Amino acid sequence: MNNLKQRRTIRKYSSEDISETFLTQLLTEAERTPTMGNLQLYSVVISRNSEMKRRLAPAHFNQPMVESAPVVLTFCADSRRTTLWAHQRKGNPGYNNFLSFVNAAADALLYCQTFCNLAEEKGLGTCFLGTTFYNPLSIVETLALPRLVMPVGTITLGWPAESPDQSERLPIESIIHSETYCDYTPELIDRFYAEKESLPANRQFVEINNKETLAQVFTDIRYTRADNEHISATLISALKHQGFLD
């Protein structure tokens, strides 16, 4: 994983395809990821067909890589396979609840990240789309996801055709806590965010958005309270629709 230090999100891909054999090999190797009770509470839907990618795009706010990537993968929390298996084996499955969703979502996301680490080690470029939680029922409909299956992560995948700047990260001291959570004082916040705020790209980002601070770009434009509250309600409805909440 020496490549990790140079990792960039890749949104532009060459026209070269990813062979089914190679993709299946990577997905198989990623199965070694730990999974709850070894139940593998996840499924992956592979989109290669242009029409299917076109139909997926609106759920991801029409970000262009959804249609331009040779492969789009939707990772799903899946309690359905286990439930069908248990019914067929005289079991009494009780996986239509919130805990089961959370367990399955964790399984799916851990699996997704191992897949991405593997794919990037082989030279593929990926873009993780957090938008999966924003319009889940649109994805459910497009991919025909039945009850007890919920999309939790999407990646676009292809051979890189760009080499963007690497995005900055916070100093590790701001992430780790020894023994107990050491809450952030105003001085610590200033110290931990100083570099991020001073970067020319981020200063420009503030300017073009006509804001006073970088944080305001996030709270007032990108991820606002009103949007977050609206989407929270949508997401809870989707969990009910898929059978994970009463």
Contact in structure between 23 and 46 (CB atoms under 8 Å): yes
Positions 8 through 37 that interact with a copy of itself (CB under 8 A): 9, 24, 27-34, 36-37
Measured CA to CA, the distance from residue 69 to residue 155 in angstroms comes to 10
Among 100, 154, 156, 242, binds a copy of itself (CB under 8 A): 100
Among 58, 64, 99, 237, binds a copy of itself (CB under 8 A): 99
198 vs 213, beta carbon nearer a copy of itself:
213
Could you say whether residue 167 binds a copy of itself (CB under 8 A)?
A: yes
Cβ-in-10-Å burial (0-12, 13-18, 19+) of 151 comes to buried
Residue the block writes with tokens 């799916």: 108
Element (H, E) at 44: strand 42-47
- Residues 89, 94, 100, 103: is their CA dihedral positive or negative? negative
Positions 55 through 74 that interact with a copy of itself (CB under 8 A): none
Among 60, 149, 154, 158, binds a copy of itself (CB under 8 A): 149
Among 12, 48, 54, 191, binds a copy of itself (CB under 8 A): 48
Among 14, 58, 64, 98, binds a copy of itself (CB under 8 A): 98
- The 188-217 contact track toward a copy of itself, x by CB under 8 A, reads -xx-xx------------------xxxxx-
Q: How far is the CB of 15 from a copy of itself (least distance, A)?
A: 21
User: Which residues, in sequence order, are CB contacts of 138 under 8 Å at separation 6+?
Assistant: 58, 59
Q: How far is the CB of 65 from a copy of itself (least distance, A)?
A: 13
Element (H, E) at 125: strand 125-129
